[in-house]
Amino acid sequence: MAPPAAQPHGGNPYVPTYSHEPPGPAAEPAFVVSRDEVLAKRAALLAEAADFRQFLDSIWEDLFMTPMGGDPVSHDVARAVTDRIRDADDSYFNVCQAWVNNLYQAAEALAETARQYGYTDEEIAASFTGSTQSA
């Protein structure tokens, strides 16, 4: 930890100085995708989003901190840690959920691109179903 003079916020080492904001949607296209690869790239994003969401769902209960003792401080610390890790709107868990949502939004943008390339909704839907069955 840096000495108090180097600490922001008046030298308080307990004030968080980090930011875990998920990246927002790009204002301009972040990449160009060809007609030949649009469905595969969409399927890859959907697969990653689904895997990440499944992982997050599987660890939800493990992110709860139980109090180390029966004293009031132990209970307060356990609540504070659980809140920061899992329950608060800006918790690490919810930031990861926002990243998952961004993957789904990017996949939907690729679905729209696929429609512009002339793919039907049925072809778009089948491209993901087919990719998950062959994996």
Domain boundaries, the chain: 34-62+92-134
CA atoms lying within 13 Å on the CB side of residue 57: 7
Encode the chain (135 residues) as per-residue pLDDT tens digits: 444 444 444 544 444 444 555 555 555 656 788 999 999 999 999 999 999 999 999 999 999 999 999 999 999 999 999 999 999 999 999 999 999 999 999 999 999 999 999 999 999 999 987 544 433
pTM, rounded to two decimals: 0.70
Give pLDDT, residue 99: 96
Q: Could you give the CA distance from residue 47 to residue 107 in angstroms, rounded to a whole number?
A: 10
